[in-house]
Amino acid sequence: MKKEERRKDVVFILYILTVLILAVIYFSVPERTLFLENQIKWWREFREMIKTFIQT
């Protein structure tokens, strides 16, 4: 029982640390809008590539 609780606590702490690290990375990018535009463009191209792959 205590092992399960300890494991849950460790997973929760790792989750919080991951979210904090991602938030720091996100807010430290000087050109956030450019970063977001690049991400949107990348996902759009990726989606088109997957659609093309599925159709063939």
Domain residue limits, the chain: 2-55
Distance CA 8, CA 11 (A): 5
Joined together, the tokens standing for residue 29 give 């990018």
Q: What is the mean pLDDT of residues 48-54?
A: 86
Give the pLDDT of residue 1: 67
Sign of CA dihedral 36, 37, 38, 42: positive
Joined together, the tokens standing for residue 39 give 């991400």
Distance CA 43, CA 35 (A): 12
User: pLDDT tens for residues 10-49?
Assistant: 999 999 999 998 888 777 766 666 777 788 898 899 999 8
Indicate the pTM of the whole model. 0.48
User: In sequence order, what are the residues at sequence separation of 6 or more whose Cβ sits closer than 8 angstroms to the Cβ of residue 26?
Assistant: 32
Assign 7 a pLDDT band (cuts: 50, 70, 90): confident
Give the pLDDT of residue 53: 82
pLDDT greater than 70 at residue 50:
yes
